[in-house]
Chains A and B, each alone.
Chain A
Amino acid sequence: MPRLVVSARRIAASVVHGLHGRRRSGTGENFWQFRRFNSGEPGSRIDWRRSARGDNLFVREHEWEAAHTVWLWIDTSSSMAYRSSLAEDSKAERAVIIGLALADLLVRGGERVGILGLGAPTASRRAIEVLAQRLASAPAGSGLPMAHALAPLEEGVLIGDFLAPEDEIAETVRTLSNRGARGHLLSISDPVEETFPFSGRTEFLDPEGAQRITLGRPQDLRAGYAARLQAHREAVDAAAAASLWSSGRHRTDNPATGALLALHAQLGAPVEGARL
């Protein structure tokens, strides 16, 4: 875990900090815009300095900076512990790195970050350490989060391999977004899981279950497997889109920074059709 913490901090520091604020007027410190005073508003809102320069009354609006809770969920099931010889980290390690780095970025941006099912969210500057400790002490979970609806203004970030059956994934996402919470799915995969480079007589074991299969010529199945994987991914994307969630992919042989940037941008960007 210490290695992951260091690595998460390094990656978080490499992401340009500056995407914070809600890009909407609201309670906050920073100036957002002047607007004409509407009758019926409290007079104390009038910005007299601005209004004195003209004939109209203006109200100074501040950018809305309400603290926002982002719920992280990191898949710690045993299938995530897989690492092939082509990858640098196991999937779980990569998920933790991305998750903690994201948490650090968000906390620095003023958000509150928590881990689903592991205590209250925190806004501490030491969010990485706090969350890492919670993760380290948590028992191994299953392939999907415990589904309960998030509050409307909360956001969920699910990081995992999403190899569970498609309908279970769809059900989980639907439940989480039941009250209008937005979210993002980041599926992490090992390169071997995509390219399926096996040949010769091979016995495949499921790390989570007792299932196994022995194939005489697995190279013959390569095309079929690729098609099946593609279908699964499209189903996951569809499940996310149905709840207006976004989804992304990351392969463990790519640097973690790219996935982190994409994720962070997704979180900041207003979603088409969002109710906020």
Chain B
Amino acid sequence: MSALPFAFLSPWLLAGLIVLPALYFLLRMVPPRPRSVHFPPLRLLLDIRSEESAARTPWWLILLRLGMAALIILALAAPILNPAPPVAPGSGPVALLVETGWASAPDWPQRVEAIESEIIRAETAGRPVALLDLGGGPSDLSITTPAGAREVLRTLAPRPDTSRPADHLDRITAFVREHAATEIVWFTSGLEARGGRAFAEGLAGIGNDSRVAVRVPARTTRALAGADNTPDALTVRVLRGESAAGESGSVRAFDLRGRPLGDTVFTFPDGDLQTTARFELPLELRNDIARLELADGRSAGGVQMLDERWRRRAVGLISGATADTAQPLLSPVYYLSRALEPFADVRNAAGGSASESVSTFVEDGVSVIAMADVGTLTPDAHDRLLAWVDNGGMLIRFAGSRLAAAEEDDLVPVRLRRGGRVLGGALAWSTPQGLGAFPPGSPFAGLPVAEEIKVNRQVLAEPSPDLAERTWAVLSDGTPLVTHRRQGTGTLVLFHVTADTVWSNLPISGVFVDMLRRTVALSGDAGTADATAEAGETAPATLAPTRTLDGTGAFRAPPPYAKPVPATGLPVADRDHPPGIYGPPDGFVAVNALEADAALARLDLDGLGVEVRSYVAAEPEPLAPWLMTAAFLALLADTILVLLLSGRMPRLRRAGATAALLAGAFLFHPVPGHAQEDKEMGAALTTRLAYVVTGDAEIDRISKAGLEGLTFELAARTAFEPGEPVGIDPARDELAFFPVIYWPVSESATTPPAETLARVDAYMKRGGSIIFDTRDAPFASTAGAANGALRRILAGLDVPELQQITPEHVLTKSFYLMSGFPGRFNEGPLWVEAQPTAEEQESGEADLVSSGDGVSPILITSNDLAGAWAADDQGRPLLPTVPSDPRQRELAYRAGINIVMYALTGNYKADQVHLPALLERLGQ
């Protein structure tokens, strides 16, 4: 590499610079040609003035022209910025070692380019190539042709796991020993993961005339790890590999169906390797978060999936009283459910006895069971409950008359005295006790002690040596109010008062909610599988992968090599267990690419004697076009100057004034903010159809006329009277107001930027429908969606699986009974979101994939619907149908009405199919 990142392709042309001095004299002698006019009274002019002496060209004009000539000469010499490195000397093979872990995903295209240019270099030098995927299983490094290497490269894609280059070191060493003068190029992700430094040292020490080059990205990937649902916020750690300057980014949260729930901004302080992103959302929303991902730089490491372990706990409520239902608002269950609802999933006993409820909850796998004044259970239920607690369940009990009267209850943390204690009663000396300060070791420590709490009655614990450490809360006289005991891996907690207000006013105080919140937060991971397994049912000990991430962090069908994970989950994904969701949708386990306490570090290559290069700087850029442009601008300036000199631009001043006026007009162009507001107000007040303004005037005119025609037909035939259709720009306008958006896509359409597509994606996720119309049915191949522009747009969207419309689809019967959906053309099929198959519906997996009330978020046709709907003021069609058939136009209107009705009514029409069956059932 030369010192300057600058080279000439034809340096001999620079010799042309010699002529510049000659040009200088030539230019100096030849002044600009004057304007030449005929003038009959020339003789009169001659009488008063003799011939003028030859003028000299002004020096600055000469300078300009010399500069112009120099620029052209330089441009012809073809200068190149960042020239491709010269073909490396040497004859040995070039070994390309490619890391394919998730850390390579964000800049994968640049990697592929860099690898390809490396292959081209080897091809030019006639050296053989060997390409090794460091992320794959151990395989031999073997020599191929450049074409073969490209073939291999094409099959490579980022994997969701971490590459382990060190596993391959032996084979690489063997290869280099076999082939002298090997040039090794290691395309690393730049992160020190799984022995990167050791691998680099190994490479550097192979010897046998080998040279090692490492391509390192300038900026390594950011990753997410260790999500934690704290009481205040959902936090996730954001990691980076280099301690660079401060930077910020955002993390997005999605629910299980992929709907965005919120995003938050994180900021790396200067030099820190990690920071925390906090989602301060309401708890209900936080618990819906199933997936966090970094907004930029998509990779599997930048995705954090959350399962039940990050959710609020399910709490089963059991009351010993059967008569509670008479006054439900005074029952302990009511107080408890009100106190637990803000942070826990409260389930009430379905009825029946307490023992039956226990069995139900244990089978359901709740995390916490709260029992309000339950005395004795049946031995069977008691055993079950005990086994469940042993396995990690948390049992919260409240005292009461039944508990106080029960014999030999071992489901309490401390031994209780029979009968309980009455404070401040008519026959007692003592007064009602307040709440004492919480002991330091208690989970309640730090909560404010509310003065107004008075306890009138409680059950008393038998004194014992370990009573103090089992006590979480005490009364002001020191008697325990809340006690706990570890039982197996679970916990028993006892509130020594009732859950209603008979014994104390604790249940109606705010402290009660906080105490329960902290108690529930302590509950262990009583997973479904454990509970059911203990309950003696046949539950799988492992969970099969449902959807896994690919290297870029997108959900994919699990690869064939993915193996089931244990039901307790895995702390971190590995090669056999790619990150993703395992198990059924209602009890899945999330496996993430990074363990909770992971940290990233940048690969340290100092002092290894390897050549380190970046990925992107290798882009050679020819400078000739810029120089030519500069020369052309100089030519323009020269022309203007010569015109000025010869007095042929007498209107320059006026032109200048015009230019200033124009510039002013641009500057003071009114900002259309008000209009935007009006438009949104109008869109919100009246339901209307909308089309995307493409910028092609003809397409937009037809879209507008088409939607106007459809609006008219809708108003004439259905109960829906839409407002005037509007054209919208998805980049600026709020889309949420429109049930359906018509988006004509021509082959030449430009792809909207990523932010716009994100808005469109959010619109689709939140239940909107978009009709993409490629308007090219007669020319399209049978594969559909052959339109390149549409493919580019859809590539930026999270498009569900599509299928051609089936005769059973709701769209075929949402208003008219339709067999096809013609527009101007009749050939094109209509593609909609694939409906779940019958098996999927039964397994419940359908819920995971479908959203938006069963309405397909995307409809793709090529039939030019708007062209068929388009009508002029008198209702006469603007464009002919192909073939020209009035019946087809009628069918096109019907198709449009069906689509609008489908988007507006959702699954209502689908459910109507079942109406007779429902009525019949109701009748019985």
Q: How far is the CA of A200 from the CA of B32 in the complex (A)?
A: 12
- Rounded to whole angstroms, the CA-CA distance of A202 and B648 in the bound complex is 10
| Nearest chain A CB to B47 CB, angstrom units | 6
Most buried by A among B39, B46, B650: B39
Q: Whose C-beta in chain B lies nearest to the C-beta of A193? A: B41
Given A198-B37, A200-B645, A201-B647, decide whether A206 and B42 contact each other with a Cβ distance below 8 A: yes
Q: Is the CB of A201 within 8 A of B55?
A: yes
Does B665 touch A at the CB level, under 8 Å?
Answer: no
- Among A79, A203, A216, A221, point to the contact of B37 (Cβ < 8 A): A203
Residue B924 at the A interface, CB < 8 A?
no
Query: Which residues from 148 to 200 on chain A have a C-beta closer than 8 Å to any C-beta of chain B?
Result: 161, 163, 165, 190, 192-193, 198-200
Per-position binary interface string of chain B over residues 629-646, scored 1 when its CB falls under 8 Å from any chain A CB and 0 otherwise: 000000000000000011
Bound CA–CA A200/B37 (angstroms) = 12
Minimum CB–CB distance from B387 to chain A (whole Å) comes to 107
CB closest chain-A residue, reference B40: A79
B45 within 8 A of A: yes
Return chain A residues, CB-CB under 8 Å to B606: none
- Residue B43 interfacial (CB < 8 Å): yes
A211 touches B646 (CB 8 A): no
**B478 is an interface residue with CB less than 8 A from chain A:** no
**CB neighbours of A141 from chain B (8 A):** none
A44 at the interface (CB under 8 A from B): no
CB distance from A198 to the nearest CB of B (A): 7
User: In terms of DSSP, what is the predominant structure of the interface of chain A?
Assistant: mixed
The answer to whether B44 touches A215 (Cβ under 8 A) is no
Interface 1/0 per residue, A208-249 and B, CB below 8 Å? 110111111000010011001100100000000000000000
B38 touches A203 (CB 8 A): no
User: Given A213-B51, A221-B48 in contact, is the A229-B35 Cβ separation under 8 Å?
Assistant: no
B42 and A213 form a contact (CB under 8 A): yes
1/0 contact string of B603-647 vs chain A (CB within 8 Å): 000000000000000000000000000000000000000000111
- Shortest Cβ distance from B44 into A: residue: A228
Contact B34 A201 (CB under 8 A): yes
Known contacts A214-B51, A216-B55; A200/B647 CB under 8 A? yes
Q: Which B residues touch A216, using CB under 8 A?
A: 52, 55
- Whether, in the assembled complex, A32 has its beta carbon less than 8 Å from a beta carbon of chain B, the answer is no
Q: Which residues of B have CB within 8 Å of A209?
A: 42
Report the nearest A residue to B35, measured CB to CB: A202
Please tell me if the beta carbons of A200 and B38 are within 8 angstroms of each other in the complex.
no
Residue among A91, A165, A204, A224 making CB contact with B39, cutoff 8 Å:
A204
B55 near A205 with CB under 8 A, answer: no
Alpha-carbon distance between A224 and B47 when the two chains are bound, in angstroms = 10
Q: How many residues of A contact B (CB 8 A)?
A: 34
Interface of chain A residues 75 through 113 with chain B (CB within 8 A)? 79-80, 82, 91
- CA A199 to CA B645, docked complex, whole Å: 10
Partner of A190, one of B32, B40, B48, B646: B40
Is the C-beta of A207 less than 8 angstroms from some C-beta in chain B?
yes
A47 to chain B, nearest CB (A): 59
Bound together, the chains give a CA A214 to CA B39 distance in angstroms of 12
Q: How far is the CB of B628 from chain A (nearest CB, A)?
A: 31
Q: Kindly supply a per-residue 1/0 record for chain B positions 51-72, scoring 1 wherever the CB is within 8 Å of any chain A CB and 0 otherwise.
A: 1100100000000000000000
Say yes or no: B44 contacts A82, CB within 8 Å. no
Contact flag A202-B34 (CB < 8 Å), given A213-B51, A216-B55, A221-B49? yes
Q: How far is the CB of B157 from chain A (nearest CB, A)?
A: 69
A263 smallest CB distance to B (angstroms): 22
> What residues of chain A lie closer than 8 Å to B45, measured between beta carbons?
204, 213, 221, 225, 228
Q: A225 — which chain B residues lie within 8 A by C-beta?
A: 44-45, 48
Asked if A229 meets B34 with Cβ closer than 8 Å, knowing A201-B645, A215-B52, A216-B55, the reply is no
How close is A68's CB to chain B, nearest CB, in angstroms?
33
Q: Is the Cβ of B49 less than 8 Å from the Cβ of A229? A: no
Q: What residues of A have a CB within 8 angstroms of the CB of B39 in the complex?
A: 82, 192-193, 204-206
Q: How far is the CA of A198 from the CA of B36 in the complex (A)?
A: 11
Query: CA A75 – CA B373 in complex, angstroms?
Result: 133
Q: Are A215 and B49 touching (Cβ within 8 A)?
A: yes
Q: Which chain B residue has the least Cβ–Cβ distance from A227?
A: B48
Assembly CA distance A207 to B42 (angstroms): 9
A205 touching B42 by the CB < 8 A rule?
yes
B40→A193 contact, CB < 8 A? yes
Q: State which of A200, A204, A208 has its C-beta within 8 Å of the C-beta of B648.
A: A200
- Chain B residues whose C-beta falls within 8 Å of the C-beta of A193 in the assembled complex: 39-41
Complex CA–CA separation, A114 to B109 (angstroms): 94
Tell me which of A207, A212, A213 contacts B40 (CB under 8 A): A207
Partner of B44 from A91, A199, A212, A232 at Cβ < 8 Å: A232
Q: Which of B37, B48, B51 contacts A202 (CB 8 A)?
A: B37
- Contact A205-B645, Cβ < 8 Å, known A163-B44, A199-B650: no
Known: A214-B51, A214-B52, A215-B49. A203 touches B44 (CB 8 A): no
* A165–B647 alpha-carbon span in the complex (Å): 31
Task: Please indicate the chain A residues that have their CB under 8 angstroms from the CB of B647 in the complex.
Answer: 198-202
Docked pose: A213 CA to B34 CA in angstroms: 11
Selected contact of A207 from candidates B32, B38, B44, B47, CB within 8 Å = B38
A203 lies within 8 A of B51 (CB): no
Complex Cα–Cα for A109 and B12 (A) = 87
Question: Known contacts being A82-B38, A193-B40, is A211 close to B48, with CB within 8 Å?
Answer: no
Q: Closest CB of chain A to B542's CB: distance in Å?
A: 93
Which residues of chain A are near B43, meaning CB under 8 Å?
Answer: 163, 165, 206, 211
**Bound-complex Cα distance A98 to B37 (A):** 27
A163 in contact with B34 given A201-B646, A215-B52, A221-B49 (CB within 8 Å): no
**Bound Cα distance A192, B41 (Å):** 10
Question: Which of A203, A215, A221 has most B Cβ within 10 Å?
Answer: A203
Closest to A223 in B: B48
CA gap between A145 and B81 in the complex, in Å: 76
CB closest chain-A residue, reference B648: A200
Report the nearest B residue to A220, measured CB to CB: B49
Residues of A within 8 A of B48 (CB): 221, 224-225, 228
CA distance A204 to B645 in the complex (A): 16
Q: Once the chains are docked, how many angstroms separate the CA of A212 from the CA of B52?
A: 11
CB distance from B106 to the nearest CB of A (A): 62
Closest residue of chain A to B46 (Cβ to Cβ) is: A213
Complex Cα gap A232–B42 (Å): 13
The answer to whether A161 and B40 touch across the interface, beta carbons within 8 angstroms, is yes
CB distance from A229 to the nearest CB of B (A): 6
Q: How far is the CB of B178 from chain A (nearest CB, A)?
A: 80
Residue contact B46 to A211, C-beta cutoff 8 Å: yes
Q: How far is the CB of B681 from chain A (nearest CB, A)?
A: 58
Q: A193-B40, A206-B42 are in contact. Are A201 and B49 (CB under 8 A)?
A: no
Interface contact A213-B44, CB-CB below 8 Å:
no
- Contacting residues of chain B (700-714) with chain A, CB-CB under 8 angstroms: none
Looking at the complex, which one of B32, B38, B648, B650 makes contact with A205 (CB distance below 8 Å)?
A: B38
Alpha-carbon separation in the docked complex, A221 to B47 (Å): 11
Note all chain B residues with C-beta closer than 8 A to A80.
40
B42 contacts A204, CB within 8 Å?
A: yes
* Residues of chain B contacted by A205 (CB below 8 angstroms): 36-39, 42
Q: How distant is the Cα of A198 from the Cα of B646 in the complex, in angstroms?
A: 11
Q: Is the CB of B35 within 8 A of A228?
A: no
Cβ A200 vs Cβ B646 within 8 A? yes
Question: B40 contacts A203, CB within 8 Å?
Answer: no
How distant is A63 from chain B, measured CB to nearest CB, in Å? 44
How distant is the Cα of A205 from the Cα of B645 in the complex, in angstroms?
Answer: 19
Closest to A190 in B: B40
Contact status B41-A163, CB under 8 Å: yes
**Interchain CA distance A198-B619 in the complex, whole Å:** 56
Given contacts A205-B36, A207-B38, 17 further A-B contacts (CB under 8 A): A91-B40, A163-B40, A198-B37, A199-B650, A201-B32, A204-B38, A211-B42, A211-B43, A213-B46, A213-B52, A214-B34, A214-B52, A216-B55, A224-B48, A228-B45, A228-B48, A232-B44
What are the 5 A-B residue pairs with the smallest beta carbon separation, nearest first?
A200-B647, A79-B40, A206-B42, A201-B34, A204-B39
Give 8 pairs: A residue, B residue, CB < 8 Å, sorted on A.
Answer: A193-B41, A200-B35, A201-B55, A202-B647, A204-B37, A206-B40, A214-B34, A224-B49
